[in-house]
């Protein structure tokens, strides 16, 4: 059974969102997503300063099975991509909710409210519906 930490927010497309102490947001892919993809061999993260629209593809995770886009859950400015993943994509497999974060964003309150993020319980239902 994949882990769904209660203190994070989620999207139906298997991203998680954490609010950091300074109000910025950290984004990664869920345990279910990394497990479905299998061992990652390449991760591309967005550059700091990039403005993204909600739903825009802004990172790529690639395993031996498939390459998948990771979508921005909301509009905003990228303030950092995780620099460690270029050399160690496997971090996303081993610690998807920690050191395997993908990128951080600064997001206006309205954009965040409009994103319709899921709670851990709601996301769990999405997973169950897909047959986990």
Partner 1 sequence: MSHTEKVIFEYSRDGRGAHDQWPADTDPAALADLPAGLRRRELPQLPQVSELEAVRHFTRLSQLNFSIDTHFYPLGSCTMKYNPRACNQYAMLPQFLARHPLAPEASGQGFLACLFELQEMLKEVTGMRGVALSPMAGAQGEFAGVAMIRAYHRARGDGERNEIIVPEAAHGTNPATATMCGCVVREIPVDAAGDVDLAALQAVVGPRTAGIMLTNPSTLGVFERRIAEVARIVHEAGGLLYYDGANLNAILGKVRPGDMGFDVIHMNLHKTFSTPHGGGGPGAGAVGVGARLLPFMPIPVVGREEGGYRWLTERDLPQSIGRLSAFMGNAGVLLRAYIYMRLLGRDGMRQVGEFATLNANYLLRRLAAAGFDAAYPQRRASHEFILTLRRQARELNVTAMDFAKRLLDYGFHAPTTYFPLLVPECLLIEPTETESRETLDAFVSALSQILAEAQNEPERVRSAPHTMPVRRLDDVRAARQLDLAWKPSAQQES
Binding site for partner 1 (CB under 8 A): 36, 38-39, 41-42, 64-66, 68, 89-90, 130-131
Which CB sits closer to partner 1, 8 or 43?
Answer: 43
Radius of gyration of the chain (CA): 14
The nearest distance, CB 109 to partner 1, in angstroms, is 27
In the chain, the largest separation of any two C-alpha atoms, in whole Å, equals 38
The nearest distance, CB 19 to partner 1, in angstroms, is 29
Which CB sits closer to partner 1, 29 or 112?
Answer: 29
Which CB sits closer to partner 1, 55 or 77?
Answer: 55
The nearest distance, CB 76 to partner 1, in angstroms, is 20
Which CB sits closer to partner 1, 95 or 130?
Answer: 130
C-alpha distance from residue 115 to each of 47, 95, 100 (Å) = 22, 25, 23
The nearest distance, CB 40 to partner 1, in angstroms, is 9
């Amino acid at each position: 059974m994949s882990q769904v930490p209660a203190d994070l927010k989620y999207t139906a497309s298997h991203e998680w969102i954490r609010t950091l102490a300074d109000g910025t947001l950290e984004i990664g892919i869920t345990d279910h997503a990394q497990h479905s993809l299998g061992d990652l061999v390449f991760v591309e993260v967005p550059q700091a300063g990039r403005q993204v629209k909600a739903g825009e593809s802004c990172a790529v995770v690639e395993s031996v099975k498939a390459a998948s886009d990771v979508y921005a859950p909301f509009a905003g400015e990228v303030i950092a991509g995780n620099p460690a993943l270029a050399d160690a994509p496997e971090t996303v497999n081993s610690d998807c909710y920690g050191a395997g974060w993908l990128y951080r964003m600064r997001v206006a309150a309205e954009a965040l409210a409009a994103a319709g993020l899921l709670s851990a319980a709601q996301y769990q239902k999405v997973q169950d519906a897909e047959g986990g």
